[in-house]
Amino acid sequence: MLSEKMEAALNEQINMEAYASFFYMSMASWCDHQGLEGTAQFFYRQSTEEHDHMMRIFRYVLEMDRRAIVPPIEQPPIDCKSIQSIFDEVYAHEQKVTKSINNLVNLANRENDHSTHPFMPWYVTEQREEEALIRNILDKLKLIGDGPQSLYFIDKEITEINAQAASQPGQ
């Protein structure tokens, strides 16, 4: 059984993961419309991953005999200035999620919650990997630039990242 505080915190995290899924779907839509197919595929995949993150917590809360709440839908940004601005925003968003995951670990510690505590390391690892992936793309953007002539090369680089992700087990 979860404490009410932990139940509320996990439901907040469900909300955050759901928003991330919609946020990435919106970024995918923008990229798709711009003809940036590789980048669009990247965000479609990220969106699905975020949905999985949400469902993992959703099922856990129910398994612990508490209510998992379907969050309201918040409108994510529709238009973007540039690829650079998208990845800057994505990086800031993932850092916010990491902070929230760390707060959940701290709460599980404070509450001596021996179920939630071992449930959280998967998310800690996932956040570390996601932040590293986005930083890697931002580094490439710095090298290539995001002017109109560079977009083709950026999209190609991200297509390469998609291919690597698809070849990894569990992707």
Binding site for ligand FEO (CB under 6 A): 17, 20, 50, 53, 94, 97, 130
Whole-number minimum distance, CB 59 to ligand FEO, in Å? Answer: 15
Whether the CB-CB separation of 21 and 47 falls below 8 Å is answered with yes
Closer to ligand FEO by CB, 15 or 150: give it.
Answer: 15
**CB-based contacts of 66, cutoff 8 Å, min separation 6:** 1, 2, 7, 10
- How far is the C-alpha of 150 from the C-alpha of 156, rounded, in Å? 10
* Amino acid at position 140, single letter: K
Whether the CB-CB separation of 151 and 111 falls below 8 Å is answered with no
Closer to ligand FEO by CB, 70 or 143: give it.
Answer: 70
Q: Which residue is nearest to ligand FEO (CB)?
A: 53
* Amino acid at position 52, single letter: D
Whole-number minimum distance, CB 73 to ligand FEO, in Å? Answer: 17
Closer to ligand FEO by CB, 131 or 145: give it.
Answer: 131
- How far is the C-alpha of 100 from the C-alpha of 14, rounded, in Å? 11
Closer to ligand FEO by CB, 64 or 133: give it.
Answer: 133
Whether the CB-CB separation of 78 and 22 falls below 8 Å is answered with no
Whole-number minimum distance, CB 117 to ligand FEO, in Å? Answer: 19
Whole-number minimum distance, CB 152 to ligand FEO, in Å? Answer: 27
